[in-house]
Amino acid sequence: MSPIVTHKRVLSGMRPTGPLHVGHLLGALDNWVKLQQTHECFFMVADLHALMGEYENPVNIRENSIKMVEDWIGAGIDPERSTLFIQSEIPEHSELAVILGMITPLGWLERNPTYKEQLREITGRDLTTYGFLGYPVLQAADILLYKAHVVPVGEDQLAHLELTREIVRRFKFLYKKDIFPEPLGIMTKEARILGTDRRKMSKSYGNAIDLSDSAENIRKKTVSMITDPARLKVTDPGHPEACNVFSYYRIFTDETKVNAVRDWCTGAKKGCIDCKKEMAETLTKRLEPFRSGDPVARRAEAEVALKKGRERASVVARQTLKEVKELLHL
Ligand code: TRP
Ligand code: SF4
């Protein structure tokens, strides 16, 4: 008997708001790559969701979308196995979002903790929009169109997923028909990696190592990293546990290497500059798939993947919307 897990469908998405960095790789993407071995996966470029924050200056959304898919493929997402598509190319997302909006009580949206938090914290842009309040309704449409069972998301998205589940229950209650599974949110573990300044790695902090950084950029960023503050001279013994560079060694190299670094650090056998240069080389090698080969070919591969993905996603989306409209006498 084949394991039941293989029949389950996964949907997840990312907003194309800029270059992906190693935090995305170790957090979401490595997890997606694993999931595609056991599940039927739909991975979506959430460009409509990106518009929520970028509506005043949307010029980069299209380019970021395609670039993001290049990075997904570089990370090991296989477009033959998984369906990669752009949200706005499947009009059923917008249509189902409007329909779900009719049954979603305003209070559920206003109570959403992510909504309240972002409204407080995002100060640079005007988010007092209808689209921002309705963000999780569109997200519910994304998930329900594909009748996804499993939705891998970051911790900040779990509240949105709970709302999707509530919408499913309400839909079932109102129309007495069970057409959507209640999706299970699985939390992508936070990437263990910190930014070059030891804060959470984030584009907005300017402390991220991007997946498509050049060798030169990787070197510059790595050399700028803060090390053990007690280690001023090469002859001072270091404390690797207090050093961010050492935590990168733990993430990107094996135990033998980690032990060697601990040894040269605590024994004052190698200076921080050399230690960082070696880390830069390791990172450059690890990120090679995101840079190697012909950029034109890489772009073409992403475009082909998106074209195929659009066709596959469209078949499922159309079918689901048809069921919904029939049920609602539309
Ligand atoms: N809101 C998600 C984020 O910002 C992106 C997203 C949009 C998504 N639609 C989704 C994630 C559906 C999972 C399922 O990260
Ligand atoms: Fe950090 Fe390496 Fe310097 Fe030790 S030698 S403090 S691990 S950069």
Are 156 and 136 in a shared domain?
Answer: yes
pLDDT, the chain, mean? 93
CA–centroid distance, 269 to ligand 1, in Å, is 47
CA–centroid distance, 300 to ligand 1, in Å, is 25
The domain that holds 274 is classified in CATH as 1.10.240.10
Please report whether residue 3 resides in a domain: no
Token output for 223: 């050399």
CA–centroid distance, 213 to ligand 2, in Å, is 23
H-helix or E-strand spanning residue 152: strand 150-153
Are 220 and 76 in a shared domain?
Answer: no
- Give the pTM: 0.92
Cα 15 off chain centre by: 8
Domain range for 79: 9-193+295-327
Does ligand 2 come within 6 angstroms of the Cβ of 93? Answer: no
Residue of 16, 29, 11, 28 lying closest to 68 (CA atoms) = 16
Please report whether residue 202 resides in a domain: no
Are 137 and 229 in a shared domain?
Answer: no
Residue of 285, 212, 215 lying closest to 64 (CA atoms) = 212
Q: What is the pLDDT of residue 103?
A: 98
CA–centroid distance, 244 to ligand 2, in Å, is 8
Are 314 and 231 in a shared domain?
Answer: no
Are 152 and 219 in a shared domain?
Answer: no
Are 73 and 138 in a shared domain?
Answer: yes
Pick from 228, 232, 283 the residue to mutate for probing ligand 2's pocket: most ligand atoms within 8 Å of its CB: 228
Are 143 and 26 in a shared domain?
Answer: yes
- Name the band, by pLDDT with cuts 50, 70 and 90, for residue 172: very high
Nearest atom, ligand 1, residue 139 CA: 9
Per-residue pLDDT tens digits for 265-293: 999 999 999 999 999 999 999 999 998 88
Is the Cα torsion angle 292, 192, 31, 13 positive or negative in sign? Answer: negative
Does ligand 2 come within 6 angstroms of the Cβ of 276? Answer: yes
The most confident of the ranges 126-140, 177-191, 217-231, 309-323 is 309-323
Please report whether residue 4 resides in a domain: no
Please report whether residue 209 resides in a domain: no
Are 69 and 121 in a shared domain?
Answer: yes
CA–centroid distance, 256 to ligand 1, in Å, is 39
Nearest residue by C-alpha to atom 9 in ligand 1: 139
Are 226 and 262 in a shared domain?
Answer: yes
Per-residue pLDDT tens digits for 23-44: 999 989 999 999 999 999 999 9
Token output for 117: 């938090």
Residues facing 83 on adjacent strands: 42
CA–centroid distance, 255 to ligand 2, in Å, is 16
Q: Which ligand has the shortest distance to the CA of 68?
A: 1
Are 35 and 99 in a shared domain?
Answer: yes
Are 103 and 24 in a shared domain?
Answer: yes
- Which residues contact ligand 1 via a Cβ below 6 A? 11-15, 46, 49, 139, 142-143, 151, 153, 157
Q: What is the tally of structural domains in the chain? A: 2
Are 113 and 226 in a shared domain?
Answer: no
DSSP letter for 23, please: H
